[in-house]
Each structure stands twice: as C-alpha cells, then as structure tokens.
Amino acid sequence: MQTTRGTSLSDSTNPEREAGESTGPSRPRRVGVLVAVALAALAADVVSKIIVVATLQDREPIRLLGGLLTLRETRNSGAAFSIGTGYTIVFTLIACGVVVAILRTARNLRSVPWAVCLGLLLGGAVGNLADRMLREPAPLKGHVVDWIQLPHWPVFNLADSAIVCGGVLAVLLAARGLQVDGTRITGKDDDPPEPEPEEPETAPEKKS
C-alpha cells in the first residue's frame, strides 16, 4: 500500500532513518596510523636501549657538541625524567591504565593528528612499561634505562620524548577543538553574526 507514487507507507510513518544509517560518508578509522606510529616509537626506544646498555653500561659518559649533549647510561625507578623514584609499582600500574585507555579510545579514532598523538603516547608508554616488566630488580619493579642528558635537565630516553611530544600535541589539538572522531568543536566566536533586525518602514506623510 502506498500513499503517493514511489513512496511507501512505512517511509511516511517512519521519517527517521533506521539506526546504523549515516547521513553522509563516514570518516575512515585511523587505527593503522596509530599502530604504525606506536611501533616506530617503540622500536626506536627498544633498539636505542639495547645499544646503550651494550656500549655505555659501567663506562664514562660520552660528551658531544661541546657538552650540549651527553650520553650517559642510568637506571630510573621513577617516572619520566627521574620523577617520583621509589614508586615503581605505582607508575607501572599507571602505564598499564594509559595503554588500556588509548586502546579503548582507538575504537572511535578517525583523526590523523590524533592517531599520531595517541601513537606517540602508546609507543612511549609501552617502551617504559617493558623495562618495568622485564628489567632488574624484579617484574613490576624494573628500572627504566635512561641515556640522554641535556644541560640542567634530568636524564631521559626516547620513550620519554615520545610521551612528551604526544602530550604537547594533544594539548594543541584540544585547543584547536579537534576531536578524536575527526569532528571539530566551534566556539561562539566562530558562529556567523546574526543579522540585525530591519527597521519598519514609515508611511509617507500626506500633503495638506
């Protein structure tokens, strides 16, 4: 039964689209970008730590660029940049929570900049988490290998650098209103100005 030609009764009584239909082309997921960035950051961190332990452990630091950069192998029981030493288990659990949160967020990831951001955070977190789990003195209490030192700055590693870069990028993306799903939040200042109301026309005066 049809109400008008070419229009079914179900369409006229059900004007809303069925659940799952989109009004326009959906953005593709960017999980592949996240995984690629995370693997690159993780690989760079793991390989650099292997080289540092093999070449710099129990040796004198190497000074480069006139002392601007120093390569020094140290072990860190705290968080990034040797913050909070003595709370190794706490930081291990926090790192696990960060990894889980990023993986959950990836389900709605449709923004390339956010994919790069979360990939850096994930790769850095997993890099240091691997040290916590696998290195001495014990699982969940392992000390992270740090090896990069700048003047007036704590010793750090590539995983710490990835985490910091990812955090800075997250702040910039949030400030610009870009969401993980690729949409953008527009503020009130971005709305077009409302047109001013027109003044009513006055009737012309009659001549006496």
Which range, of 8-12, 49-53, 167-171, 198-202, averages the lowest pLDDT? 8-12
Residue corresponding to tokens 């968080």: 79
CB 106 within 8 A of CB 32: no
Asked if 160 is an active-site residue, the reply is: yes
Give the pLDDT confidence score for residue 99 in this predicted structure. 92
pLDDT digits (tens, 9 = 90+) for 99-149: 999 999 998 999 999 999 999 999 999 999 999 889 888 887 888 999 999
For residue 39, pLDDT beyond 90: yes
What whole-number distance in Å separates Cα of residue 143 and Cα of residue 85? 10
Least confident of 33-47, 109-123, 144-158: 144-158
Q: Give the list of residues 6+ apart from residue 151 with CB closer than 8 angstroms, or none.
A: 67, 68
The residue from 11, 160, 181, 191 that is catalytic is 160
Least confident of 21-35, 39-53, 176-190: 21-35
pLDDT bracket for residue 87 (50, 70, 90): low
Given the residues 11, 131, 146, 191, select the one marked as catalytic. Answer: 146
Q: How far apart are CA 84 and CA 75, in angstroms?
A: 13
Contact 86, 165 (CB under 8 A): no
Closest to 142 (Cα-Cα) out of 77, 54, 59: 77
Domain boundaries, the chain: 31-181
In the numeric block, which tokens belong to residue 20?
Answer: 């799952």
pLDDT score of 188? 47
